[in-house]
């Protein structure tokens, strides 16, 4: 079965919000063995929305539409779907009651246009929305499944997990393995991979260049889960034997989750001090549930004074070597290690944006330190402010993982 995701909303088309729903749904669909081939986004325009639905019905088996189920006049998804599949929109008495009750219980004023949310195409089913007032809709049409879901991620995500996944699942299994490498270019990596006997039926192997690392994804799809697992393990072993030195991780998880899991296993506590990355490392780490078991504290020392106050950096070092220097990176890290009593400290100091009288934009020192060892990296990252911060953050996470893998085996 081939899926297509249509995200509806002018705010997506204008770039006002990022289309995270397509990301969430694609990942979930892949995990269920359903391939997604197209994402379409369209603004809140009835004609264009209708046309996008027609194109999707022509090429995909499962069509998930998100957004445009709200109470306002520019919410048109149900209207467009009903028209394309030639079913009238009808108001559902039970849903009317539910909505009236919902507003009464949550002490909110119900306006007349909220009743729009009790409408659905005839012969379709509502999908419950425990987190909001816009229910989802499920329609089968000419052997295709059409799912309408609300746009807000905190409503869409549980609705998918609790209801929609059961409406669309099939018998296929999917196995996904991931190998993360850094220190090798994408074309060299591809040349290396091509020299190996790893291209098997039912499997696709692709490389994705992320910021500062490359992910090799091995995806198998078939009915026999044991066979898929066996073959995928074989592929991973062959790749490992060829390019093992560049590999820093094997899971499908984010860098921050991989690092936290690794530190947790080793019972290590972590603290972070950031200058140029401005809280990005702390934010990435604390985005993971259970981070508090490993992550003790983060200090964003943006001013020179804060480096002196918070991390006991000697002002003389800043004056002599400059705030972006190996010496200051070392002193920041040591200061926090001593003060916090944790096992491992990561620090960054650098220039994320062009600085007056300096040509060193992108110069970042990253230090990783425990009570016995430390390493300071001097890097020149390319790109604008955002790119430098992202590259430095990823580099710090990757090298902390390598550091702890080396010293705590």
Does residue 173 belong to the site contacting a second copy (CB under 8 A)? Answer: no
Out of 91, 101, 206, 373, which residue is the one contacting a second copy (CB under 8 A)? 206
Pair 371, 230: CB distance under 8 Å: no
Region near a second copy per CB under 8 A, out of 82-90, 181-189, 224-232, 259-267: 181-189
Region near a second copy per CB under 8 A, out of 240-248, 291-299, 364-372, 398-406: 291-299
- Give the nearest distance from C-beta 395 to a second copy in angstroms: 15
How many Å separate Cα 149 from the centre of its chain?
20
Does residue 183 belong to the site contacting a second copy (CB under 8 A)? Answer: no
Does residue 325 belong to the site contacting a second copy (CB under 8 A)? Answer: no
Does residue 154 belong to the site contacting a second copy (CB under 8 A)? Answer: yes
Total residues binding a second copy (CB under 8 A):
100
Instruction: Measure the CA–CA gap between 303 and 379, rounded to whole angstroms.
Output: 21
Within residues 8-37, the interface with a second copy by CB under 8 A covers 9-20, 22-27, 30, 36-37
Instruction: Measure the CA–CA gap between 130 and 120, rounded to whole angstroms.
Output: 18
- Give the nearest distance from C-beta 326 to a second copy in angstroms: 21
3-class DSSP state for residue 109? coil
- Give the nearest distance from C-beta 87 to a second copy in angstroms: 25
Residue 345 pairs in a beta bridge with 271, 369
DSSP state of 118: G
- Give the nearest distance from C-beta 244 to a second copy in angstroms: 20
Q: Which residues, including other chains, have CB under 8 Å from residue 394's CB and lie 6 or more apart?
A: 210, 211, 212, 213, 255
Does residue 140 belong to the site contacting a second copy (CB under 8 A)? Answer: no
Region near a second copy per CB under 8 A, out of 83-91, 229-237, 376-384, 398-406: 376-384
Instruction: Measure the CA–CA gap between 406 and 153, rounded to whole angstroms.
Output: 39
> Which residue's CB is nearer to a second copy, number 70 or number 121?
70
Does residue 241 belong to the site contacting a second copy (CB under 8 A)? Answer: no
Out of 159, 175, 332, 389, which residue is the one contacting a second copy (CB under 8 A)? 389
Strands (E), 1-103: 2-8, 35-42, 62-66, 89-91
Does residue 267 belong to the site contacting a second copy (CB under 8 A)? Answer: no
Region near a second copy per CB under 8 A, out of 257-265, 306-314, 367-375, 395-403: 306-314
Q: Which residues, including other chains, have CB under 8 Å from residue 385's CB and lie 6 or more apart?
A: 352, 353
> Which residue's CB is nearer to a second copy, number 69 or number 124?
69
Does residue 208 belong to the site contacting a second copy (CB under 8 A)? Answer: yes
401, with CB counted inside 10 A (0-12, 13-18, 19+), is: buried
Does residue 55 belong to the site contacting a second copy (CB under 8 A)? Answer: yes
Backbone angles phi, psi at 288, to 5 degrees: -90, 130
> Which residue's CB is nearer to a second copy, number 94 or number 356?
356
Residue 280: enclosing H or E segment and its boundaries?
helix 280-286
Window 72-91: contact mask with a second copy (x via CB under 8 A): xxx-----------------
Does residue 283 belong to the site contacting a second copy (CB under 8 A)? Answer: yes
Out of 34, 149, 181, 299, which residue is the one contacting a second copy (CB under 8 A)? 299
Backbone angles phi, psi at 380, to 5 degrees: -115, 100
For 24, 50, 67, 215, the CA distances from 144, given in Å and listed in that order, are 21, 16, 20, 34
Sign of CA pseudo-dihedral 264, 272, 400, 189: positive
How many Å separate Cα 310 from the centre of its chain?
32
Within residues 97-126, the interface with a second copy by CB under 8 A covers 108-109, 111, 113-114
Does residue 43 belong to the site contacting a second copy (CB under 8 A)? Answer: yes
- Give the nearest distance from C-beta 406 to a second copy in angstroms: 26
Does residue 61 belong to the site contacting a second copy (CB under 8 A)? Answer: no
Out of 153, 182, 314, 370, which residue is the one contacting a second copy (CB under 8 A)? 153
Instruction: Measure the CA–CA gap between 89 and 154, rounded to whole angstroms.
Output: 26
> Which residue's CB is nearer to a second copy, number 82 or number 272?
272
Does residue 349 belong to the site contacting a second copy (CB under 8 A)? Answer: no
In DSSP notation, 42-58 reads E-S-HHHHHHHHHHHHH
Does residue 188 belong to the site contacting a second copy (CB under 8 A)? Answer: yes
Out of 353, 360, 373, 405, which residue is the one contacting a second copy (CB under 8 A)? 353
Instruction: Measure the CA–CA gap between 246 and 397, rounded to whole angstroms.
Output: 15
First to last CA, the chain: 44
């Amino acid at each position: 079965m081939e899926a297509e995701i249509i995200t509806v909303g002018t705010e997506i088309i204008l770039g006002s919000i990022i289309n995270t729903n397509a990301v969430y749904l694609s990942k979930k669909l892949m995990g269920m063995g359903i391939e997604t081939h197209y994402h379409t986004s369209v603004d809140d325009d009835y004609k264009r929305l209708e046309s996008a639905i027609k194109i999707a019905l022509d090429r995909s088996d499962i069509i998930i539409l998100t957004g445009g189920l709200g109470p306002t006049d520019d919410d048109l998804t149900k209207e467009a779907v009903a028209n394309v599949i030639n079913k009238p929109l009808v108001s559902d008495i039970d849903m009317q009651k539910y909505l009236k009750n919902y507003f009464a219980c949550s002490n909110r004023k119900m306006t007349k246009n909220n009743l729009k949310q009790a409408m659905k195409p005839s012969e379709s089913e509502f999908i419950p929305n425990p987190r909001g007032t816009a229910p989802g809709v499920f329609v089968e049409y000419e052997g295709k499944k059409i799912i309408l879901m609300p746009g807000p991620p905190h409503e869409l995500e549980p609705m998918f997990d609790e209801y929609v996944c059961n409406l669309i699942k099939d018998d296929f299994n999917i196995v996904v393995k991931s190998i993360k490498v850094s220190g090798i270019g994408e074309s060299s990596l591809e040349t290396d991979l091509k020299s190996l006997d790893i291209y098997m039926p039912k499997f696709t192997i692709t490389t994705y260049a992320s910021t500062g690392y490359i992910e090799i994804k091995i995806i198998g799809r078939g009915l026999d889960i044991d066979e898929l697992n066996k073959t995928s393990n074989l592929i991973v072993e062959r790749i490992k034997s060829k390019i093992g030195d560049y590999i820093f991780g094997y899971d499908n998880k984010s860098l921050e989750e991989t690092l936290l899991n690794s530190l947790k296993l080793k019972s290590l506590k972590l603290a972070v001090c950031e200058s140029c990355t401005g809280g990005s490392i702390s934010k990435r780490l604390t985005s993971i549930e259970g981070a508090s078991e490993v992550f003790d504290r983060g200090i964003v020392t943006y001013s020179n004074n804060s480096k002196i106050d918070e991390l006991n950096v000697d002002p003389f070092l800043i004056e002599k070597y400059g705030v972006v220097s190996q010496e200051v990176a070392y002193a920041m890290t040591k200061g926090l290690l001593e003060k916090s009593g944790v096992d491992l400290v990561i620090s960054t100091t650098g220039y994320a944006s062009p600085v007056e009288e300096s040509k060193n934009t992108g110069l970042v020192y990253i230090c990783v330190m425990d009570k016995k060892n430390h390493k300071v990296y001097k890097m020149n990252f390319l790109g604008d402010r955002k790119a430098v911060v992202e590259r430095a953050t990823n580099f710090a996470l990757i090298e902390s993982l390598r550091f702890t893998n080396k010293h705590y085996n």
